Amino acid sequence: MDVMQMTRELGKAIQNDDRYIAYNLAKQVNNEDKELQADIEKFTELKKELDLAMIEENSEKMNIIDSEIKIIYKKIMDNEHMTAFSNAQNALETLISNINQLISMCANGADPDTCEIPTGCSGSCATCGGCA
């Protein structure tokens, strides 16, 4: 089996992983939540209005819209479906980050059977595969 075929097998394994399945389920639930989708649409509209107010340099309008954005953003993030989605997304991103780190370590000569993904933050972003 060549490397590209093995990568396809890895892709299949990722799609069978509980974190991937949970992410897709949470995304579907979010998409079916009409109130959440309306709030996201309102948030997007407000961002456009804020951009326009910034171009117009209308600070009073910017402050009003900014307050509205903060309220709708909090409502979105407090939605139980969005919370579940965010948690599932973080778990999937951590999995992908760990996979990428392992591949990078192996590509740099580390022993694939014994190299370990570093845990915790060293404080140096130069050697990091991303925050989990």
Tens of pLDDT, residues 48-61: 999 999 998 989 99
Q: Assess if residue 84 is contained within a domain.
A: yes
50: Cα within 13 Å, side-chain hemisphere: 15
For 39, 41, 43, 70, 75, the CA distances from 66, given in Å and listed in that order, are: 15, 16, 10, 6, 14
Residue 81 in any domain: the answer is yes
Annotate 53-81 with b (16+ C-beta within 10 A) or e (fewer).
beeeeeeeebeebeebbeebeeebeebeb
State residue 12's pLDDT score. Answer: 97
Do the domain assignments include residue 51?
Answer: yes
122 in a domain, yes or no?
A: no
Tens digit of each residue's pLDDT (9 = 90 or more) over 89-118: 999 999 999 999 999 999 999 999 999 988
Q: What is the pLDDT of residue 132?
A: 47
Asked if the structure places residue 26 within a domain, the reply is: no
pTM (two decimals):
0.78
The answer on pLDDT for 15 being more than 50 is: yes
Is the pLDDT at 127 greater than 70? The verdict is no
113 inside domain:
no
**Segments forming the whole domain that contains residue 61:** 34-103
**Number of domains present in the structure of the chain:** 1
On whether residue 63 sits in a domain, the answer given is yes
Contact assessment for residue 39 and residue 72, using Cβ atoms and an 8 Å cutoff: yes
Beta strands in 36-77 (DSSP E): none
Residue 58 inside a domain? The answer is: yes
